[in-house]
Amino acid sequence: MKYKELVKAARKAKRYSHSPFSKYRVGAAVLSANGRIYTGCNIENSSYSLTICAERTALFKAISEGEKKFVALAISNDEKKFASPCGACRQVISDLAGEIDIILTNGKGKIKEFKTSELLPYPFTSKNLE
């Protein structure tokens, strides 16, 4: 597996998941073009809609530290069913990271790999605003 270290980082990132409401832990790790890895977890809020997903935590952390280009994003949960990014995260990934490799890994250690455009075909982008 090409992204072994990235997947490991996504799995490890679950340890800080703040998910007292759903009890659904998610970890994510994004690999920037210059080879750095940024991790994130889901952080829930008692006002539910203020929750942020692990994918966006990781990407926002990277961008807030000056990263602009990305290669891959790994997402991990504890379940048998794969962690699959929600619609909001698919939009953010497509917008901020573009066409990257998205690696999904479940609690059994299985792996599935997609491209951004497979998870979000025909996206809304900044070009739509021109």
Binding region for ligand THU (CB under 6 A): 19, 22, 24, 26, 42, 44, 51, 53-55, 83, 85-86, 89
User: By C-alpha distance, which of 97, 81, 79, 83 is closest to 53?
Assistant: 83
**CB 29 within 8 Å of CB 10:** yes
The CB-of-91 to ligand THU minimum distance in angstroms stands at 12
* Strand ranges of the sheet holding 111-115, from the earlier edge strand across to the other edge: 37-41, 26-32, 70-77, 101-105, 111-115
Q: Which of 5, 55, 67, 79 is catalytic?
A: 55
Please say if 130 is a catalytic residue: no
Q: For residue 106, give the amino acid letter.
A: N
Residue 70 CA to residue 108 CA, distance in Å, equals 27
Nearer to ligand THU, 53 or 59 (CB): 53
Q: Indicate the residue among 34 and 110 with the shorter CB distance to ligand THU.
A: 110
Least distance (Å) from ligand THU to the CB of residue 34?
25
Whose Cβ is closer to ligand THU: residue 22's or residue 117's? 22
**Smallest distance from ligand THU to CB 68, Å:** 23
What is the set of active-site residues?
55
